[in-house]
Amino acid sequence: MRVKNSKREYSVWAALTKGDWATKLSALVMGLGCAMHKQVVKGILIFAVEVAYIFFMVQTGIGCLAQLPSLGENETEKVWNEAKQIYEYTQGDNSLLILLYGVAVLFVTAAFIIFWRIQMRESYYLQRRMEAGMHINNFREDLKSLGHQNLQIPLMTLPMVGILAFTVVPLVFMISMAFTSYSKEGDHLTLFDWVGFANFTRVLNLHGNIGRQFWSVLGWTIIWAVFATFLNYILGMILAMIINRKDTHWKGFWRFCFVLSIAVPQFVSLMIMHIMLQPQGAMNVILQNLGLIDSPLPFLSNAMWARVTVIVINLWVGIPYTMLQVTGILQNIPVELYEAAKMDGAGPATIFRKITLPYMLFVTTPYLITQFTGNINNFNVIYLLSAGGPTEVGDTAGKTDLLVTWLYKLTIDKQYYNIGAVIGIFTFIVLSIVALATYRNTGSYKNEEEFM
Amino acid sequence: MKNTKRTVVNIVVHVFLAVMAFVWLLPIFWIILTSFRGEKGSYVNSFFPKTYTFDNYIRLFTDRNVLNFPQMFANTLFIAVCTCIISTFFVLSISFCMSRLRFHFRKTYMNMAMILTLFPGFMSMVAVYYILKALGLSEGSMIRVALILVYSGGSGLGFYIAKGFFDTIPKSIDEAAIIDGATRWQIFTRITMPLSKPIIIYTVLTSFIGPWVDFIFAKVICRANAQYYTVAIGLWNMLQKEYIHSWYTCFAAGAVIISIPIAALFIFMQRYYVEGMAGAVKG
């Protein structure tokens, strides 16, 4: 029988049913299959991993998993110590740590299962090669392959560990928090329980306090993202076109002026804007000194004003970015298209609508999608500019709060961790719907051919 | 007739651009003015300062009691240099693997990266904090290590731009090298890297700038440990109620001091970004 090219083409099931005794036994004694098929060092290393995993599970792992369903039950209690004549605190359970360790152990176990499957396939593959009398790599050759055929292993291991430890595990941990009662409400900060979907119904319920705020924040987040993205895009493109015109002088100078404003770190320029827009800030001072207004304008203290202000300030932040992005692409639009349109008597507005915009949309859709999702997640502009305010008494969300800034307030300031986690999950759902829907409907996805 | 119309349009366009440029530069101009303002206090009722002074800059670097700016600057520089080294290595390795190597896990990884980037970055911040605490990295000087790990840990997800660049290097170069007996590691270090100067510089600069401009993670991880603050938290603190009255003009000075190098790096980086977008081997 022909030996397949890689171990990937053999299933674990085939190894378990058709393998020889060593391959079958390596389901229990991992690495045995490799060791019996001329790869002794590798077999010993695989076995060492198994021993380490079992040792870890017996030592701590099983204990962590056992507590996961209940998340701990013992409260911290004050106990009178007769001998010392003082109150002592007994060490209660900390649900958060139980959850964190539980999630970590689950990840270790998942990694171990994947490792087990790989070694099963590997040993069956080696068995087949040996039966066919083919060459089997020795350990030195295996190591050498890490610099060539298997270069991805040394190159990707560390970055992957980083992503797992600082992105994936925390994310799963936070998602699981959404199903618990971990919150300052009702004093569930050290000891909490699983509550199923209760938090989700609470957030979606229009009649509750949290639910009412959720829908209003969600609505504003979408309005904000639409305005912030499309106004920036259209106006940035118009600016780029004006600078690109044949008759415009000092092109480099104009570009430099606009680029300078984004070269300044964003948090600095936003904080500057924040203090300029205060009631006694520079903006009101200028307007008053010019005699245009009598009393300061409520840029950030009135709900409607604040909403318009953050969108306008975001134009200040975003237009130069768009200008930078589209300048190169604009120059690539075939000149013949414009010449033909002019011959047919099209005015500048028609040319923009019928040629420039469709062409740009075709080329820059991926950029638009990242901008849109970026705006839904645009923490900096809102938090540094208006801090989500103005906030009505009794509410946790302000009038300009986006889902992400509300999430930040709920978790960091209020310590409503479970509600925060639910908001995070909903943000993700909104983002993935937008990303998928727009991506699938764009020309560049449906038809990867050239424009036209 | 046609010529006069063109002149009028030209004048209108240039006036429009001048007004726009003025609007865009106004805040920058104002912050520079304020950093030299002689009057104390926070808000004043004139746009231009009445007296000019260098004291704000001097105080920023000499007053080490309340908000220790030189210390913050040193912290941020250290964190930025370390982050930059780790992230650049991560990003370039992953991009090379995604672009040049073909292996089973590749597609899975790219899909996973796309999904992960859709989650709000700091949604997991609280969890990250507890993980750092469990690892013993949340107290004392380990806070610096914690920040470096947080900034560089997830950097392997941002591989799109560098991958796009590597994709433009012709595959035939690799194939020729393999026929000559080179390993893929040698292709990575001796062929791809030397051809990728613009994108390496771009990656180095973006990861170096990151820690200077982030303040969400820094704030959550440093909490009240003022001696480990980065510049961003320091500047943010200067505008809080407790400090704003005495630190307002110093904030302006600090903002100017930080913005000059970052702006210079950004403009420098932009050139390499444009070059990188144009591809590796020009036709």
- Whether residues A105 and A240 share a domain: the answer is no
Six-digit token string for A315: 């134009």
Interface contact A257, partner B, CB < 8 A:
yes
- Whether residues A333 and A204 share a domain: the answer is yes
* DSSP calls for A180-225: B--BTTTTBSSS--B-TTHHHHHHH-TTSHHHHHHHHHHHHHHHHH
Identify which has the larger pLDDT, B271 or B208: B208
Q: Domain B60-277 is in which class?
A: mainly alpha
What percent of chain B is predicted at pLDDT more than 90? 21
The structure tokens 């943000």 sit at A427
Backbone angles phi, psi at A443, to 5 degrees: -60, -40
Nearest to B267 among A247, A263, A276 (CB): A263
Angle between helices B142-153 and B125-134 in degrees, nearest 10: 130
Strands A86-89 and A78-81: what pairing?
A: antiparallel
CA distance readout (Å), B178 to A148, B173, B281: 10, 9, 20
Residue from A169, A246, A264, A381 to probe the interface with B (highest B Cβ count within 10 Å): A264
pLDDT in tens, B212-236: 888 888 888 888 888 889 998 888 8
* In the predicted structure, residue B55 carries a pLDDT above the cut 60: yes
Examine residue B120 and say whether the peptide bond preceding it is cis (omega within 30 degrees of 0).
no
Query: Which chain A residue's Cα is nearest to B86?
Result: A159
pLDDT in tens, A74-132: 777 777 777 777 777 777 778 888 888 899 999 999 999 999 999 999 899 989 888 88
Which amino acid type is present at position A267? F
Q: Closest Cα to residue B216, out of A357, A407, A416?
A: A407
- Whether residues A225 and A129 share a domain: the answer is no
Residue B67 makes CB contacts below 8 A (sequence gap 6+) with: B226, B234, B237, B238, B243, B247
- Whether residues A355 and A227 share a domain: the answer is yes
CATH number for the domain harbouring residue A385: 1.10.3720.10
- Whether residues A31 and A116 share a domain: the answer is yes
Query: Which chain B residue's Cα is nearest to A172?
Result: B124
- Whether residues A275 and A137 share a domain: the answer is no
pLDDT in tens, B62-104: 888 778 889 999 999 999 999 999 999 999 999 999 988 888 8
Q: Is A79 helix (H, G, I), strand (E, B) or coil?
A: strand
CA dist., res. A215 & res. A202, Å (int): 12
Distance from CA of B65 to the nearest CA of A (A): 23
* Per-residue model confidence (pLDDT) at position A256: 86
Q: How many domains does chain A contain in total? A: 2
Which amino acid type is present at position A312? V
Under 8 Å between Cβ of A120 and A26: yes
* Domain assignment of residue A340, yes or no: yes
Question: For residue A280, which residues of chain B lie inside 8 Å, CB to CB?
Answer: 43, 45
Q: What is the CA radius of gyration of chain B?
A: 24
* Domain assignment of residue A299, yes or no: yes
* Domain assignment of residue A2, yes or no: no
Interface contact A428, partner B, CB < 8 A:
yes
Which amino acid type is present at position A311? I
Which amino acid type is present at position A19? G
Under 8 Å between Cβ of B71 and B80: no
CA dist., res. B243 & res. B246, Å (int): 6
Question: For residue A147, which residues of chain B lie inside 8 Å, CB to CB?
Answer: 183-186
Under 8 Å between Cβ of A127 and A22: yes
Under 8 Å between Cβ of A371 and A233: yes
* Per-residue model confidence (pLDDT) at position A339: 84
* In the predicted structure, residue B282 carries a pLDDT above the cut 60: no
- Whether residues A338 and A234 share a domain: the answer is yes
CB B156 to CB A248 under 8 A?
no
* Per-residue model confidence (pLDDT) at position A212: 87
DSSP annotation of A451: P
The residue segments making up the domain with residue A38 are: 7-145
* Domain assignment of residue A12, yes or no: yes
Residue B219 makes CB contacts below 8 A (sequence gap 6+) with: B233, B236
What percent of chain B is predicted at pLDDT more than 70? 96
pLDDT in tens, B174-213: 999 999 989 999 999 999 999 888 889 888 988 898 888 8
- The angle formed by the CA atoms of residues B208, B209 and B210, to the nearest 5 degrees, is 95
List b or e across B86-103, with b for residues whose CB sees 16 or more CB atoms inside 10 angstroms: bbbbbbbbbbbbbbbbeb
Q: Closest Cα to residue A211, out of A422, A440, A4?
A: A422
Residues of chain A with pLDDT below 50 are 444-445, 448-452
- Whether residues A272 and A139 share a domain: the answer is no
Nearest to B156 among A159, A384, A431 (CB): A159
Query: Which chain B residue's Cα is nearest to A268?
Result: B255
- Whether residues A33 and A123 share a domain: the answer is yes
* Domain assignment of residue A183, yes or no: no
Q: Closest Cα to residue B229, out of B243, B215, B242?
A: B215
Cβ contacts below 8 Å, chain A against chain B, sum to 235
Residue from A166, A232, A315 to probe the interface with B (highest B Cβ count within 10 Å): A166
User: Average pLDDT over chain B, rounded to whole?
Assistant: 86
Q: Label each residue of B141-169 as H, E or C.
A: CHHHHHHHHHHHHCHHHCCHHHHHHHHCC
Exposed/middle/buried for residue A99 (C-beta within 10 Å: 0-12, 13-18, 19+): buried
* Domain assignment of residue A311, yes or no: yes
Query: Which chain A residue's Cα is nearest to B103?
Result: A152
Q: Give the rounded distance of the alpha carbon of A236 from its chain centre.
A: 27
DSSP annotation of A136: -
* Per-residue model confidence (pLDDT) at position A1: 60
The structure tokens 């780029």 sit at A240
- Whether residues A370 and A236 share a domain: the answer is yes
* Per-residue model confidence (pLDDT) at position B281: 56
* Per-residue model confidence (pLDDT) at position A113: 94
pLDDT in tens, B243-268: 888 888 888 899 898 888 888 888 88
Identify which has the larger pLDDT, B126 or A316: A316
Backbone angles phi, psi at B154, to 5 degrees: -90, 10
* Domain assignment of residue A156, yes or no: no
CB B216 to CB A379 under 8 A?
yes
DSSP annotation of A8: G
* Domain assignment of residue A186, yes or no: no
For chain B, the domains span 2-56, 60-277
pLDDT in tens, B76-85: 999 999 999 9
- Whether residues A119 and A226 share a domain: the answer is no
Backbone angles phi, psi at A79, to 5 degrees: -125, 135
Exposed/middle/buried for residue A294 (C-beta within 10 Å: 0-12, 13-18, 19+): exposed
- Whether residues A297 and A417 share a domain: the answer is yes
CB B97 to CB A151 under 8 A?
yes
Q: Label each residue of chain B as H, E or C.
A: CHHHHHHHHHHHHHHHHHHHHHHHHHHHHHHHHHHCECCCCCCCCCCCCCCECCHHHHHHHHCCCCCCHHHHHHHHHHHHHHHHHHHHHHHHHHHHHHHHCCCCCHHHHHHHHHHHCCCCHHHHHHHHHHHHHHCCCCCCCHHHHHHHHHHHHCHHHCCHHHHHHHHCCCHHHHHHHHHCCCCHHHHHHHHHHHHCHHHHHHHHHHHHHHHHHCCHHHHHHHCCCHHHCCHHHHHHHHCCCCCHHHHHHHHHHHHHHHHHHHHHHHHHHHHHHHHHHCCCCCC
